[in-house]
Copies of this chain bind each other. A is one copy, B any other.
Amino acid sequence: MSPRRISPASVTRLLGPWRGERVGPAYGQLADSLRLLILDGRLPLDVVLPGERELAQTLEVSRTTVTAALARLRDDGFLDRRQGAGARTRLPGGPGERGAPGPLAGVEAEGLLDLASAAPPASEAVHGAYAAALSALPAHLPHTGYAALGLTSLRQTIAERYSRRGLPTTADQIMVTNGAQHALALMLRLLAGPGDRVVIDHPTYPHAIDAIQRASCRAVPVGLPDHGWDVEGVAAAMSQSGPRLAYFIADFHNPTGRWMSPETRTAIAAAAQRTRTTLIFDETLVDLWLDAPIEPYAFEEPESGLVRLGSTGKSFWGGLRLGWIRADAQTILALAPRRASIDLGTPLLEQLAAVHLLSDDEAALSARRAMLRSRRDHLLGLVRARLPDWRVASPPGGLSLWAELPAPVSSSLAATSERFGVRLAAGPRFGVDGAFERFLRLPFTLPPEDLAKAVDSLVQACARLRPSSSPARASLGAVV
C-alpha cells in the first residue's frame, strides 16, 4: 500500500487563515501553523504532504517560503527528512504515547472527582424498569436463558423505536449486545482481520481506538476540522487506504460534541459505498441533544453497508449494560456465531428492563436532557470565568466540552490534577500517536457543586504547572 497523501486543497482548508495570527516571517508563520495542525492531530501522522511547488501555488506564497517552512519542520522533527516527492508528517521522537490506558471506568477514583469518564448517574426510569423486569422474569426462569441475538420482544421494541423515529426497521435487523463497545468489537470480529484498515474521525472515543488496535487492525485517522467533518479527507482516506470499516460518531461526537449535518452524512455514506467500506455510526449519544431536536435519519442512506450501534449506557445508565447493532438481516445472522467466541448473550433481566425503558422513553429522556443542559451551561460558565485562556464552545449535545488549552500540556495537567483532587483523561487518550496535547475533554456529568470544585482544582493545578517547565512533549510544542 502506498502512503496516504493529502491534497493541496485539504492543507489549505486545514490551515485556514494562517497568516496574521502569528508574528515573524511568512515561512515561520507557515511552519508554526503546520506544526500546530500536526500536534493537534488535525493533520494526521504518516501522511505525505503535497510537493513544494504545488503547496506554494495553492497557498499563494513563494516557493522559498514553503521550502524554508518545511525545512524548519524537518529540523524540529515534524516531517521526515526525505527530500523530493513530498514530506511525511511525524512527531519528534517517533510516535507518541497515548498515555497510560488511563483512568479505567469503574476503577474507583477514591475520593477524586472523576472528570475522566463522561457518564451520568442513572436516569430516574432505571429502578422502575428493573422492577418491571423482575415481574416479567418468572416466565423465563424455566428456560435456558440464552439468547445469542437477543430476546425477540426486545429486538421488536428496538426496531419499533427506530421506525417511530423515521427509520423503518424490522426485528431481524437488530442484534442485542452488551453495550455499543461490545457491538463494535463484534463488528470488527465479523468484518475485519489482522492488518485491516479502519477509518476513524480524529479525535474519537478512546475505547474505539482500543477495540480497533486490539483486533490487530490499523486505525486510519482523519482529523476533524474546526467545524463539521472533513468530507474530502474522509473520502481520500477511504479510497487510499482500502479500509474494511469506517467508524464515526456523527451524533454528538465524543469528545468534541459536534453533530454531523445530513449533507455530510450523505456524502460520507456515498464515499463509503463507492469504496465498499462498511460505515458504522455509533449512536450512543443520539438521544442527548441539548439544543434543537435533531433528525439523525433525515439523510440519503446508501442501499447497504450502513451499520448503526446503539446503547442505553448514556441515555439511561452505564450500569445497565445493553446495546445493539442495527444492520441488514444477513449481517445480523452472520454475527450470531461470531458472538459465541466472545460471550454467550446479554443477561436476560437487562433485556427485560430495556424493553420497558425503550418502549416509552420520552419523559425520562426529556428530564435527562434538561439536567445535562443545565450542567453543560454551568460548566461552560465556570471554565470561561475561571480559566479564561481556555477555549471552549457550547456543544449542541452529548456529555462533554472539548477544551483547547493555551499550551500543549494536557498530559502533564492530568498528571498534576490528581494531587488537587481531580481525575482527568488527557487529550492524547482521544487520538492515535500522541496528538491532542493541546486539548482536554471536560465532561459535564457531575453534579453542579462537584463541577465547581473540579474547576477550582483545575485552576490550582494549572497554577502549579505554569512555573515549572512542561514535560518532554509539551516542551517540544512550545509554539504559542
Contacts and interface: CB of A to CB of B under 8 A. Distances in A.
Nearest to A211: B341
A114 B213 CA distance: 39
Nearest to A446: B144
Contact of A127 (B119, B138, B179, B213): B138
A214 B194 contact: no
A191 interface: no
Interface string A115-130: 0010111100011001
Contacts of A104: 148-149, 336-337, 340
B347 A347 contact: yes
A141 interface: yes
B146 A319 contact: yes
A346 to B, nearest CB: 7
Interface string A148-176: 11001000000000000000000000000
Contacts of A178: 178, 343, 347
A350 to B, nearest CB: 5
- Chain A interface size, under 10 / 10 to 19 / 20 to 34 / 35 or more: 35 or more
Interface in A368-403: none
Interface stretch (A181-189, A238-246, A252-260, A264-272): A181-189
Interface in A319-361: 319-322, 336-338, 340-350, 353
B211 A318 contact: no
A148 B215 contact: no
Contact of A145 (B216, B317, B342): B317
A228 interface: no
Contacts of A343: 178-179, 181-182, 185, 321, 343
Given A179-B343, A343-B321, A130 B137 contact: yes
A461 to B, nearest CB: 22
A106 B341 contact: no
Contact of A321 (B101, B106, B108, B344): B344
A185 to B, nearest CB: 5
Contact of A107 (B107, B148, B211): B148
A478 interface: no
B101 A337 contact: yes
Interface in A292-339: 313, 317-322, 336-338
A82 interface: no
A466 interface: no
A344 B181 contact: yes
Nearest to A122: B141
A182 B131 CA distance: 27
Q: Which of A105, A107, A350 has the most CB of B within 10 A?
A: A105
Nearest to A124: B141
Interface of A: 101, 104-108, 114, 117, 119-122, 126-127, 130-131, 134, 137-138, 140-149, 152, 178-179, 181-182, 185, 189, 193-194, 207, 210-211, 213-216, 313, 317-322, 336-338, 340-350, 353, 445
5 contacts: A104-B148, A106-B344, A126-B141, A130-B134, A318-B344
Which 3 pairs of residues, A with B, have the shortest CB-CB distance? A145-B319, A319-B348, A101-B337
